[in-house]
Amino acid sequence: MLLILKPQMTKTDANELIARLAWMNLKTFITEDDNRYCIALIHHPDQKINLELFSELPGVEKIVPFKERFKLASRNFKRSRTIIEIGPVKIGDGSLTFMAGPCSIETEQQVYQTAQALASQGVKILRGGAFKPRTSPYDFQGLGETGLDYLSKAAKAHNMLCISEVMDTKEVEIVAKYVDILQIGARNMQNFSLLKAVGEIKKPVLLKRGMHATYHDFLLAAEYILTAGTMEVMLCERGIRTFEGYTRNTLDLSAVPVLQELSHLPVIVDPSHAVGMSRFVPKLAYAAVACGADGLLVEVHPEPNKALCDGQQSLTPDEFAKMAKKCMQLREIL
Ligand code: PEP
Ligand code: MN
């Protein structure tokens, strides 16, 4: 349940209240919304809670039960949209954030060349995979820590932030050492140990929707990261599996407005993995912008036909530039 505090209550008052509740062995989370503090009390379903007891606590204005199984991710907990600030970049503030770069980091030159081209387009976040979740064990698995080193140096050299996927709890600290945003891939959306481990690192996380996950599954996965201690979580729609086999996946655009209504977390769309064919990526990106996406995650490679991974869905820097320009124009019109 949620304790909505009276408007005059300060953060110190809220923390004092949390300290008073410590004996009850409840998990507490605090948020500021509409200039007042709210405390989420998370208790075990078997734990009997007397609501009246809480309404009599000093400073408590009202008690609101959580409507959904996901709590911290819900609009119930936080009515205003979460804005994630990483250095000069703000995600979820109504602007459109681009995260772009190759599927995999292949060489130092490839990632530098991509970073340079994207930075000149105003892109602030460079993507690149170093630990790759490949369907076949015989495919290129990524450069590991060497790749992360290339990625972070290329990003720094071009005044960019960077994002990369972490696949295993054992690698969380290594990846976190190099990147500004940790990515959890679709295949790991319900790897609960990994979700807890990235949450504990307290760095922003981009969580991709599992290919068979419902919105509720997706938000409950986000809840694992939030309850582990990181409120800076982005939800990424990257297409789901349907009966349609022509495209790699089916981009579920309903996810954008629905998730934004159910949750305060920013919603990013990845049109590249959704459709899997570069020629269709721009059209899906425009549609995502029209649906109100907070950002786009796009694969860009200087020479897609030579890419070691996902070249067929990667845009060239020039194609990306044209697409990004149109996306911004579209956003202005809307
Ligand atoms: C990726 O972004 O490189 C990736 C592997 O995506 P997904 O987890 O959505 O398949
Ligand atoms: Mn890819």
Backbone angles phi, psi at 30, to 5 degrees: -115, 145
Q: Are residues 141 and 267 in the same domain?
A: yes
Is 121 among the domain residues? yes
- Cα gap 239→97, rounded to integer Å: 19
How many independent structural domains does the chain possess?
2
CA atoms of 89 and 122, how far apart (whole Å) = 12
The full DSSP string for 222-259 is: HHHHHHHT---EEEEE--B--S--SSSSB--TTHHHHH
- In a shared domain, residues 19 and 111: no
Q: 3-class secondary structure for 27-60?
A: EEEEEEECCEEEEEEECCCCCCCCHHHHHCCCCE
- Please report whether residue 96 resides in a domain: yes
Ligand 1 site, residue 103, Cβ cutoff 6 A: yes
Task: Note the pTM of the prediction, 2 decimals.
Answer: 0.96
Claim to verify: residue 277 and residue 175 sit in the same structural domain? yes
Cα-Cα end-to-end distance for the chain: 37
Q: Please indicate, yes or no, whether residues 124 and 96 belong to a single structural domain of this protein.
A: yes
Q: Ligand 1: does its nearest atom lie under 6 Å from the Cβ of 185?
A: yes
Domain annotation covers residue 142: yes
19 and 121 belong to one structural domain: no
Ligand 1 pocket test target in 148, 208, 212, 313 with most atoms within 8 Å of CB: 208
Could you tell me if 16 and 143 lie in one domain? no
Q: Ligand 2 mean position to 103 CA, how many Å?
A: 4
Structural domain that includes position 324: 84-333
303 assigned to some structural domain: yes
Whole-angstrom distance, CA of residue 40 vs CA of residue 188:
27
CATH assignment of the domain containing 59? 3.30.70.1140
* Ligand 1 center to 212 CA (angstroms): 14
Per-residue pLDDT reduced to its tens digit, 149-163: 999 999 999 999 999
Is the CB of 241 inside a 6 Å radius of any atom of ligand 1?
A: no
Query: pLDDT 10s digit of each residue in the chain, 334 long?
Result: 899 999 999 999 999 999 888 888 888 999 998 889 999 998 877 777 777 788 888 899 999 989 899 999 999 999 999 999 999 999 999 999 999 999 999 999 999 999 999 999 999 999 999 999 999 999 999 999 999 999 999 999 999 999 999 999 999 999 999 999 999 999 999 999 999 999 999 999 999 999 999 999 999 999 999 999 999 999 999 999 999 999 999 999 999 999 999 999 999 999 999 999 999 999 999 999 999 999 999 999 999 999 999 999 999 999 999 999 999 999 999 9
Residues 28 and 98 in one domain: no
Residues 203 and 285 grouped into a single domain: yes
* 75 falls within a domain: no
